[in-house]
């Protein structure tokens, strides 16, 4: 979900110092002076990666090497590229020059500037790309320069886009030598949102999502999508509660000008919740109210489900001289406050009105901004309850990490979903009397991925939350994208030690389906329980499966969902979240992700021209061995057929293998002149007409767009036109591919559309 917040006339900070720069004009081509701009905090340099032959370099807009305010004489000092937070942006942040009538339309360019130093390993023509968002035609243009020469002036990008979009510049630039060169971006119209930049020796580079990893020199400081942090507003009590450890920020921004290079820092304290808190360096500085957006800031992205008035409660340990903080809701000047923190030698809570949001879905941003430097902030609760009274370390956090995690059902005959209990979409504590109970991640090398989850058994009182109490229990929620409807079976891997910690409650789409006990205990080893509970999936798409604590102390490792009651979940060494393929230019991109790996050795990419027995390994990548992180893999097949079948074979350390579902990638969905299908679309019966130049054996195959073979027929074709019937009345509505081939060679392809 795209989270782009309109912030009219709001000045934010950026990591740079504004210094004087002179521009020199030499006529055409337009040039700018050598960079005399000052580096910001931790200036980032980049390198060109040519490992795939594409000469690719990827930059984060908010992590420039140098940056500078606008030099247009009529602009104020706040005409800057300023940082904003969004979990949909690369690295969780992007930049913008604020919409305050601060355009820089003339040449040579004098607008706000970002420099990116890149070490090039290739010379010659290069193509330039950006990932951007533009609201309208008054905030959709920039200038771009290479080594001081403008190669793309007055670049107006399309505005009819939804969300972040990659686009290639119309013009190119030429790299004369290898080594370090500088790419520069100038703002032309304010209000332009810039997320990422990239260069490549290839045109039409196939960017998807946030794109490849940034090619930073040294250790990467940017975060992938699986490293994002979001916080969940829990409405189960009727009031909304989001509970946040201060160190679990979505984005941490350093200060600007007088507050340059003063980020919030994680500090240790055994008396803090979680053993850590956040503070800036204490230099005796207090930020004036008018300079709030120049000060160091922590942003927290919070899911929301109802429009309401919200309040914030802050756990702090303030003292004289460091006892104030700014709070803001969605960067709003309306809901922007300086807060006094009660002096205290120990941790204590203070509560304040935060603001109103009319959002009923999506997210909003809570900003904590330094006012008194050195103020220690430990924990935050955002709630709709103005009378909330937190005590001690407060409730258990409602953090979502990674943010927006959706599990994907595969398209194999078993229709599998793999759910590691240590990585739910959401982990929520109990409510009411049980708000100090929560699922915790435990380490065990014999668990899949080396981890499992359980609600801690205090050993004094055995908590049994059954019946109506199930709705007060701590839960783990999994968002799942189902591709198959109907009855599904839950295989739950557990290590229940006794009869008093051997059960759970499960819900589907918030409806309680049952309380399940492990009647066969397994105190010494993990086992999949064979008495399979079921869920009935009413439609394809995203649904929510919830596991609630019934008895504390019940250890659960993993859940496998299958449409096949006979599926053997115990044989699983790897959990594939997703396997995808895409035809791009002159190659196919094969991507897959694993949620955990247990003693894996290699991932083999296998290709077939028929999808039958002619599989060949075309790539072998080292596997992770043991991992409970979400890992992404990809392979470029540079020698694809018009129709290629792929599968991922994961080889275990003991020599056993797990085979993924079969994926079909087509490079020609236009109708073949030799293969005709009519009527098309069809609902009951389609006819195939095939022209052959010689008599030969032909195999016809009908394949889903996901690669599953749903029908196949072999026959002896004669010279000339051959007509065959293809019943489709039993097929679900959707798009299919019909292929006709002799063994080992594709002859023709044609799309088929089934309607109901």
Return the sign of the alpha-carbon dihedral for residues 729, 732, 735, 737: negative
- The residues facing 691 across adjacent strands are 721
pLDDT tops 60 at residue 34: no
The verdict on residue 28 lying in a domain is no
Q: Residue 379 phi/psi, 5° resolution? A: -150, 155
Measured CA to CA, the distance from residue 155 to residue 129 in angstroms comes to: 12
Q: Residue 293 phi/psi, 5° resolution? A: -80, 5
Measured CA to CA, the distance from residue 147 to residue 173 in angstroms comes to: 10
CA distances from 354 to 254, 329, 382, 385 (A): 23, 7, 8, 11
Asked whether 617 and 665 are in contact (CB, 8 A), the reply is no
Could you read off the pLDDT of 565-584 as tens digits, one per residue?
877 766 555 666 678 888 87
Is 727 strand, coil or helix? strand
The pLDDT of residue 748 is: 63
Q: What's the domain range around 378?
A: 230-400
Measured CA to CA, the distance from residue 194 to residue 132 in angstroms comes to: 5
The pLDDT of residue 105 is: 93
Pairwise pLDDT comparison (628 vs 44), residue with the higher score: 44
The pLDDT of residue 707 is: 55
Mean pLDDT of the chain: 84
The verdict on residue 418 lying in a domain is yes
Nearest residue to 268 via CA among 299, 246, 298: 246
Could you read off the pLDDT of 636-655 as tens digits, one per residue?
888 888 778 888 988 888 77
Mean pLDDT for 696-719 is 75
Q: In terms of domains, do 72 and 134 share one?
A: yes
pLDDT tops 90 at residue 183: yes
Q: In terms of domains, do 462 and 598 share one?
A: no
Measured CA to CA, the distance from residue 474 to residue 334 in angstroms comes to: 36
Mean pLDDT for 54-78 is 90
Q: What is the CATH number of the domain that holds 436?
A: 2.60.120.260
Q: In terms of domains, do 423 and 539 share one?
A: yes
The verdict on residue 495 lying in a domain is yes
Mean pLDDT for 282-289 is 90
By residue count, the chain amounts to: 756
**Is residue 18 very low, low, confident or very high in pLDDT (cuts 50, 70, 90)?**
very low
**Is residue 28 very low, low, confident or very high in pLDDT (cuts 50, 70, 90)?**
very low
Pairwise pLDDT comparison (529 vs 618), residue with the higher score: 618
The pLDDT of residue 709 is: 67
Q: In terms of domains, do 371 and 473 share one?
A: no
What is the number of other CB atoms lying within 10 angstroms of the CB of residue 1?
10
Mean pLDDT for 373-398 is 94
pLDDT tops 80 at residue 13: no
In terms of C-beta distances under 8 Å and separation of at least 24 residues, what long-range contacts does 745-750 make, across chains too? Answer: 745/609, 746/609, 746/641, 746/642, 746/643, 747/674, 747/675, 747/698, 748/672, 748/674, 748/675, 748/690, 749/642, 749/643, 749/666, 749/668, 749/669, 749/672, 749/675, 750/671, 750/672, 750/675, 750/676, 750/677
Q: Above pLDDT 70, what percent of the chain?
A: 87
Query: β-pairing, 745-754 with 276-279?
Result: unpaired
Q: In terms of domains, do 551 and 581 share one?
A: no
Mean pLDDT for 264-284 is 94
pLDDT tops 60 at residue 257: yes
Q: In terms of domains, do 439 and 358 share one?
A: no
Asked whether 119 and 46 are in contact (CB, 8 A), the reply is yes
Mean pLDDT for 608-630 is 81
Pairwise pLDDT comparison (755 vs 97), residue with the higher score: 97
Domain final position from 562, 593, 626: 562
What is the number of other CB atoms lying within 10 angstroms of the CB of residue 499?
12
What is the number of other CB atoms lying within 10 angstroms of the CB of residue 365?
21
Q: What is the dihedral of CA 706, 480, 398, 514, to 10 degrees?
A: -160
pLDDT tops 60 at residue 345: yes
pLDDT tops 80 at residue 314: yes
Q: In terms of domains, do 242 and 389 share one?
A: yes
The verdict on residue 246 lying in a domain is yes
The verdict on residue 330 lying in a domain is yes
The verdict on residue 205 lying in a domain is no
The pLDDT of residue 479 is: 95
**Is residue 704 very low, low, confident or very high in pLDDT (cuts 50, 70, 90)?**
low
Return the sign of the alpha-carbon dihedral for residues 314, 315, 319, 322: negative
Mean pLDDT for 377-404 is 92
Q: In terms of domains, do 558 and 423 share one?
A: yes
**Is residue 222 very low, low, confident or very high in pLDDT (cuts 50, 70, 90)?**
low
The pLDDT of residue 370 is: 95
Q: Is 684 left (phi over 0), alpha (psi -120 to 50) or beta?
A: alpha
**Is residue 586 very low, low, confident or very high in pLDDT (cuts 50, 70, 90)?**
confident
Domain final position from 666, 693, 708: 666
CA distances from 339 to 229, 322, 328, 335, 413 (A): 25, 11, 11, 12, 58
Cα three-residue angle 422-505-535, rounded to 5 degrees: 90
Mean pLDDT for 114-133 is 96
pLDDT tops 80 at residue 403: yes
Q: In terms of domains, do 241 and 324 share one?
A: yes
The verdict on residue 216 lying in a domain is no
Domain final position from 533, 562, 591: 562
Nearest residue to 439 via CA among 553, 560, 523: 553
Number of domains making up the chain? 5
Q: Which of 164-168, 348-352, 527-531 has the lowest mean pLDDT?
A: 527-531
Q: In terms of domains, do 171 and 111 share one?
A: yes
Q: Label residues 731-752 b or e (16+ Cβ within 10 Å = b).
A: beeeebbbbbbeeeebbbbbbb
Q: Which of 344-358, 408-422, 639-653 has the lowest mean pLDDT?
A: 639-653
CA distances from 371 to 160, 289, 318, 331 (A): 40, 8, 12, 16
Is 92 strand, coil or helix? helix
pLDDT tops 90 at residue 755: no
Mean pLDDT for 287-316 is 92
Q: Which of 503-507, 679-683, 747-751 has the lowest mean pLDDT?
A: 747-751
pLDDT tops 80 at residue 32: no
Q: In terms of domains, do 181 and 262 share one?
A: no
pLDDT tops 90 at residue 189: yes
**Is residue 666 very low, low, confident or very high in pLDDT (cuts 50, 70, 90)?**
confident
Q: Above pLDDT 90, what percent of the chain?
A: 46
Q: In terms of domains, do 485 and 428 share one?
A: yes
Pairwise pLDDT comparison (133 vs 751), residue with the higher score: 133
pTM: 0.67
Segment of 12-26, 471-485, 517-531 carrying the highest mean pLDDT? 471-485
The pLDDT of residue 376 is: 95
* Helix, strand, coil percentages in the chain from 3-state DSSP, rounded to 5: 5, 45, 50
Mean pLDDT for 547-567 is 91
The verdict on residue 464 lying in a domain is yes
For tokens 């490849």, what's the residue? 212
Nearest residue to 666 via CA among 728, 576, 565, 752: 752
Q: What is the CATH number of the domain that holds 659?
A: 2.60.40.10
């Amino acid at each position: 979900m795209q989270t782009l917040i309109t912030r009219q006339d709001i000045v934010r900070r950026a990591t740079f110092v504004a210094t004087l720069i002179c521009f020199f004009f030499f006529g055409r081509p337009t040039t700018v002076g050598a960079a005399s701009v000052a580096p910001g905090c931790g200036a980032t340099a980049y390198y060109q990666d040519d490992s795939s032959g594409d000469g690719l370099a990827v930059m984060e807009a908010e992590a420039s090497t140098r940056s500078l305010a606008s030099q247009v004489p009529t602009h104020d000092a706040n005409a800057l590229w300023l940082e904003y937070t969004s979990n949909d942006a690369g690295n969780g942040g992007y930049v913008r020059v604020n919409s305050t009538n601060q355009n820089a339309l003339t040449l040579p360019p004098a607008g706000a500037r970002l420099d990116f130093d890149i070490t090039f390993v290739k010379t010659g023509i290069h193509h330039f790309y950006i990932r951007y968002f533009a609201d309208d035609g008054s905030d959709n243009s920039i200038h771009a320069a290479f080594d001081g020469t403008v190669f793309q002036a007055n670049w107006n990008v399309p505005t009819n886009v939804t969300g972040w979009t990659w686009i290639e510049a119309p013009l190119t630039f030429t790299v004369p030598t290898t080594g370090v060169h500088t790419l520069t971006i100038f703002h032309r119209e304010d209000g332009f949102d810039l997320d990422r930049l990239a260069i490549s020796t290839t045109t039409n580079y196939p960017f998807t999502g946030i794109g490849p990893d940034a090619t930073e020199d040294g250790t990467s400081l940017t975060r992938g999508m699986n490293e994002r942090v979001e916080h969940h507003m829990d409405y189960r009590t009727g009031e909304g509660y989001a509970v946040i450890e201060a160190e679990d920020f979505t984005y941490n921004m350093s200060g600007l000008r007088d507050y340059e290079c003063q980020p919030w820092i994680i500090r240790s304290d055994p008396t803090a919740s979680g053993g850590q808190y956040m503070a800036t360096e204490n230099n005796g500085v207090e930020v004036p109210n008018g300079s709030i957006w120049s000060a160091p800031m922590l942003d927290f992205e919070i899911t929301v489900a109802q429009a309401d008035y919200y309040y914030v409660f802050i756990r702090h340990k303030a003292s004289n001289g460091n006892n104030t903080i700014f709070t803001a809701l969605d960067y709003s000047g309306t809901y922007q406050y300086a807060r006094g923190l009660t002096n205290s030698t120990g941790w204590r809570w203070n509560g304040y009105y935060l603001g109103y949001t009319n959002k009923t879905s999506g997210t909003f941003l809570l900003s904590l901004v330094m006012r008194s430097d050195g103020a220690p902030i430990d924990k935050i609760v955002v709630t709709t309850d103005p009378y909330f009274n937190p005590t001690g370390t407060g409730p258990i956090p409602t953090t979502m990490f990674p943010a927006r995690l959706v599990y994907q059902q595969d398209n194999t005959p078993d229709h599998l979903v793999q759910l590691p209990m240590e990585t739910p979409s959401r982990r929520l504590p109990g409510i009411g009397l049980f708000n100090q109970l929560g699922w915790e991640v435990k380490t065990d090398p014999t668990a899949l991925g080396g981890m499992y989850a359980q609600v801690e058994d205090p050993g004094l009182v055995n908590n049994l939350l059954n019946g109506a109490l199930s709705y007060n229990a701590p839960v783990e929620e999994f968002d799942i994208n189902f591709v198959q409807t109907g009855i599904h079976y839950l295989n739950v891997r557990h290590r229940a030690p006794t009869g008093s910690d051997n059960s759970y409650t499960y819900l589907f789409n918030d409806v309680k389906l049952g309380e399940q006990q492990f009647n066969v205990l397994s105190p010494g080893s993990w086992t999949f329980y064979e008495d399979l509970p079921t869920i009935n999936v009413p439609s394809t798409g995203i649904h929510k499966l919830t596991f609630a604590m019934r008895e504390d102390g019940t250890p659960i490792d993993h859940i496998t969902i299958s449409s096949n009651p006979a599926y053997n979940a115990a044989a699983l060494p790897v959990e594939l979240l997703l396997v995808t393929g895409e035809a791009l230019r002159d190659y196919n991109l094969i991507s897959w992700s694993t949620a955990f790996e247990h003693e894996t050795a290699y991932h083999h990419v296998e290709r077939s021209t028929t999808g039958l027995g002619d599989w060949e390994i075309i790539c072998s990548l080292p596997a992770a061995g043991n991992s409970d992180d979400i890992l992404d893999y990809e392979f470029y097949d540079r020698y694809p057929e018009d129709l290629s079948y792929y599968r991922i074979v994961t080889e275990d350390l003991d020599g056993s293998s797990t085979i993924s579902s079969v994926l079909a990638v087509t490079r020609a969905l236009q109708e073949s002149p030799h293969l005709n299908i009519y009527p098309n679309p069809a609902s009951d019966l389609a006819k195939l007409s095939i022209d052959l130049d010689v008599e030969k054996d032909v195999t016809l195959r009908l394949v889903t767009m996901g690669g599953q073979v749903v029908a196949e027929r072999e026959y002896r074709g004669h010279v000339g036109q051959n007509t065959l019937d293809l019943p489709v009345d039993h097929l679900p509505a959707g798009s299919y591919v019909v292929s006709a081939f002799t063994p080992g060679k594709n002859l023709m392809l044609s799309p088929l559309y089934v309607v109901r």
